[in-house]
Chains A and B, each alone.
Chain A
């Protein structure tokens, strides 16, 4: 399709589109998908994290639990949402409501849009690393279908903590990266001004991730980018989310969880295919595990 952004944009232009201040945010999608959306708050330990919107609503005649990392549209909202950078309480809230969804059998939709988990002293004191680790581990035990979509920025572990799902989608002009281009430049060059070069090397666009087998599908955006037509972007995302969720609904729980395990277990199958990577499954007791003797 000539003239489409994916044919003409540089990697850095995609980064700028993914961060565009007019880009639709999680609530712009959730409220269109489920106009009766009810937001729920709090981790039931100490805080509510406004960087993560969570709640339930009716979508396609089902009750669905929605999560969304929510950026702010204006400065005041950005401050109150902490630029969608979650604290430990956000991941604990997510796990609380994911378990609640499991109790009632509600499917889960998670919209990912964060520069990363919050890099602050308070987050460290309250255990941000553990909270992310527990969330990543916890998602593998949630016995209902989970579909995630990166709608803007998928920044590092802070994004992964909300993106362990049966299917992971990406909007066309979104990015998903091991670290933000600035952080990667700071780590590799010790200079975060090299962010453009870092972004190009990191392979963070939706096409890169589709090619690597990290996401199942890329959702095309309206001509020029999602920020130009929220309504059309939401319609496109809704249709693809439903197509994937519909396939997951009939799968028996044990099979669903085993597939989720294997989705991530062999996500690096590009490398697994290398001859020196060895067999995927070793014959049991082939070599000296003392416990097997």
Chain B
């Protein structure tokens, strides 16, 4: 832990915005004098996070640049290393980052997973559930209402700590209920995806969640409710094959691994040589699967801007 940010290559930032041009704690895109048409006042600056982030477990060194990490410093820059490496964040950190401080109102937290298949080996599913609960984790997806830079949103957050963020019946139910309510009230829906796929221990009913969720996504679209999906490291299997790529705007985190089948299985089944960067966020941008790759420090400002753009009343129509 002795390594200080001063040893990092490049300038040591006081605020992340100095590190990445255009990225930062406060962003105010164009608007106002300089452009065409009557000047509008600049949009208010949006902080990189809604509140102070909780601690997350970190390695001692950055896996990308090797610099020794100072947890407090990293926490103040949204767990993005000076080199640009984005550390995985758990669900609590994502809620603190995306939701305005104090605005998060969790819903349906009392729905619990059940061991319907009586799964026993190599580890009893009930034991897996009990352990995760003992660690204070409440399923792989949590949903609730919040505000983002003052805009009311529905927020659904995957938590990779709970059985690999796997899509389960409880996760599917929470997602579906929140999608239905967002569609009914036309409240923008923000999804934070991080998942290894469907949960094996819930068998076919886990697979069925994909259909249940996508039916509700279809209704969200029919209700012309803006839907934003943020794909983080890693997002695989049944989650991108259900709701995570069906948003109006798909946003990937820099370097995130996103795909249907993981590279290990692809190599095993096709003996293919996979290029470096295969299934990265940047790869998915080139392949047309995501609209943009956005640094975590810029994400909130970008979402606030998108919500304004999509919710602006139409002039002369409707």
Question: Could you list which residues of chain A lie within 8 angstroms of chain B, going by C-beta atoms?
Answer: 117, 119-121, 123-130, 132-134, 136-137, 140-141, 156-157, 160-161, 164, 176-179, 183-184, 186-189, 197-198, 201-204, 208-209, 212, 214, 260-261, 264-265, 267-268, 270-272, 274, 276-278, 282, 284, 287-292
In the assembly, what is the distance between CA of A141 and CA of B265, in Å? 33
In the assembly, what is the distance between CA of A137 and CA of B220, in Å? 11
> Which listed residue, B117, B208, B217, touches A201 by the CB 8 Å rule?
B117
In the assembly, what is the distance between CA of A206 and CA of B181, in Å? 35
Q: Count residues of chain B with CB under 8 A from any CB of chain A.
A: 75
B238 touches A287 (CB 8 A): no
17 more CB-based (< 8 A) A-B contacts, given A124-B266, A265-B215? A121-B270, A123-B261, A129-B241, A133-B242, A136-B211, A140-B218, A164-B211, A177-B207, A178-B199, A178-B202, A178-B204, A179-B198, A268-B209, A268-B212, A277-B173, A288-B145, A289-B181
A268 touches B173 (CB 8 A): yes
Q: Mark B175-207, 1 if CB is under 8 A from A, else 0.
A: 011000100111100000000111111111111
**18 residue pairs A–B, Cβ–Cβ below 8 Å:** A117-B261, A119-B266, A124-B261, A126-B287, A128-B260, A129-B289, A130-B245, A133-B244, A136-B242, A178-B198, A178-B203, A183-B265, A204-B204, A208-B204, A264-B212, A268-B173, A270-B205, A288-B145
In the assembly, what is the distance between CA of A195 and CA of B177, in Å? 35
Residues from chain A with a CB closer than 8 A to the CB of B138 are none
A289 touches B185 (CB 8 A): yes
Residues from chain A with a CB closer than 8 A to the CB of B270 are 119-121
Chain A: CB-nearest residue to B187? A291
Chain A: CB-nearest residue to B145? A289
B108 touches A278 (CB 8 A): yes
* B127–chain A nearest beta-carbon distance, Å: 13
* B182–chain A nearest beta-carbon distance, Å: 8
Residues from chain B with a CB closer than 8 A to the CB of A133 are 210, 214, 240-246
> Which listed residue, A129, A201, A202, A289, touches B260 by the CB 8 Å rule?
A129
* B129–chain A nearest beta-carbon distance, Å: 13
A287 touches B266 (CB 8 A): no
Chain B: CB-nearest residue to A157? B241
Asked if A124 meets B105 with Cβ closer than 8 Å, knowing A137-B215, A202-B203, A214-B204, the reply is no
In the assembly, what is the distance between CA of A284 and CA of B181, in Å? 9
In the assembly, what is the distance between CA of A265 and CA of B107, in Å? 18
In the assembly, what is the distance between CA of A183 and CA of B186, in Å? 39
In the assembly, what is the distance between CA of A128 and CA of B260, in Å? 7
* B141–chain A nearest beta-carbon distance, Å: 15
In the assembly, what is the distance between CA of A177 and CA of B208, in Å? 10
Chain A: CB-nearest residue to B270? A120
Q: Which stretch of B50-58, B73-81, B118-126, B299-307 is in the interface?
A: B118-126
Q: Does B43 contact A (CB under 8 A)?
A: no
* A275–chain B nearest beta-carbon distance, Å: 10
Residues from chain B with a CB closer than 8 A to the CB of A282 are 177, 181
